[in-house]
A and B are shown apart, each in its own frame.
Chain A
Amino acid sequence: MEYRQLGRSGFKVPVLTLGTGTFAGKGELFGAWGTTDVAEATRLVDICLEHGLTMFDSADGYSAGGAEEVLGAAIKGRRDKVLISTKATFPTGDGPNDGGSSRYHLTRAVEASLKRLGTDHIDLFQLHAFDAMTPVEEALECLDRLVAAGKVLYTGVSNYSGWHLMKALAAADRYGYPRYVANQTYYSLVGREYEWELMPLGLDQGVGAVVWSPLGWGRLTGKIRRGTPLPAVSRLHKTADMGPPVPEEYLYKVVDALDAVAKETGKTVPQIALNWLLQRPTVATVIIGARNEQQLRDNLGAVGWALTPEQIATLDAASAVTPVYPYWHQRATFTSRNPNPV
Chain B
Amino acid sequence: MEYRSLGRSGLKVPVLTLGTGTFGGVGGFKSWGETGPAEASRLVDICLEHGLTMFDSADIYSRGTSEEVLGAAVKGRRDKVLISTKVAFPTGRGPNDCGSSRHYLLRAVEASLKRLGTDYIDLLQLHGYDAETPHEEVLSTLDGLIQQGKLRYIGVSNFSGWHLMRALATADRCGYQRYVAHQAYYSLIGRDYEWELMPLGLAEDVGAMVWSPLGWGRLTGKIRRGAPLPQTSRRNDPKQNDIGPPVDDDYLFKVVDALDAVAAETGKSVPQVALNWLLSRPSVASVIIGARNEDQLRNNLGAIGWALTKEQIARLDAASAVTPAYPYWHQRQFSRNPPPV
Q: Could you list which residues of chain A lie within 8 angstroms of chain B, going by C-beta atoms?
A: 89-91, 99-100, 129-134, 159-163, 165-167, 170-171, 173-174, 185-186, 191, 193-194, 196-198, 200-201, 204, 242, 244-245, 322, 324-330, 332-334, 336-339
Given contacts A159-B331, A186-B327, A326-B158, 8 further A-B contacts (CB under 8 A): A90-B334, A99-B335, A100-B336, A130-B337, A161-B199, A163-B161, A196-B325, A244-B329
Across the interface, name the chain A residue whose C-beta is closest to B164.
A163
- The distance in angstroms between the C-alpha atoms of A246 and B22, with both chains bound, is 40
Q: Quick check: is B310 within 8 A (CB to CB) of the other chain?
A: no
Tell me whether B329 and A245 are in contact (CB under 8 A). yes
Closest 6 CB pairs between A and B? Answer: A170-B169, A162-B162, A163-B161, A324-B192, A166-B165, A334-B128
Across the interface, name the chain A residue whose C-beta is closest to B325.
A193
Query: Which of A133, A170, A337 is within 8 Å of B99, CB to CB?
Result: A337
Most buried by B among A163, A193, A322: A163
Q: Quick check: is B311 within 8 A (CB to CB) of the other chain?
A: no
Tell me whether A245 and B323 are in contact (CB under 8 A). yes
Q: Quick check: is B98 within 8 A (CB to CB) of the other chain?
A: yes
Using Cβ atoms and an 8 Å threshold, which residues of chain A touch B203? 132, 163, 167
B209 to A: closest C-beta gap in Å: 14
Query: Which of A100, A197, A333 is within 8 Å of B161, CB to CB?
Result: A197
Using Cβ atoms and an 8 Å threshold, which residues of chain B touch A329? 128, 158, 185, 245
- The distance in angstroms between the C-alpha atoms of A41 and B338, with both chains bound, is 37
B41 to A: closest C-beta gap in Å: 31
- The distance in angstroms between the C-alpha atoms of A59 and B90, with both chains bound, is 48
Q: What are some 11 contacts across the A-B interface (CB < 8 A)?
A: A131-B334, A163-B165, A167-B169, A194-B326, A197-B160, A197-B161, A204-B162, A244-B329, A324-B325, A326-B192, A333-B158
Using Cβ atoms and an 8 Å threshold, which residues of chain A touch B166? 166, 170
Q: Quick check: is B200 within 8 A (CB to CB) of the other chain?
A: yes
With A159-B327, A193-B325, A324-B325 as known contacts, state yes or no: A170 contacts B160, CB within 8 Å.
Answer: no
B309 to A: closest C-beta gap in Å: 28
Tell me whether B245 and A330 are in contact (CB under 8 A). no
Q: Quick check: is B132 within 8 A (CB to CB) of the other chain?
A: yes
Using Cβ atoms and an 8 Å threshold, which residues of chain B touch A201? 160, 162
Tell me whether B162 and A197 are in contact (CB under 8 A). yes
Using Cβ atoms and an 8 Å threshold, which residues of chain A touch B192? 324-326
- The distance in angstroms between the C-alpha atoms of A161 and B334, with both chains bound, is 13
Tell me whether B165 and A325 are in contact (CB under 8 A). no
Across the interface, name the chain B residue whose C-beta is closest to A201.
B162
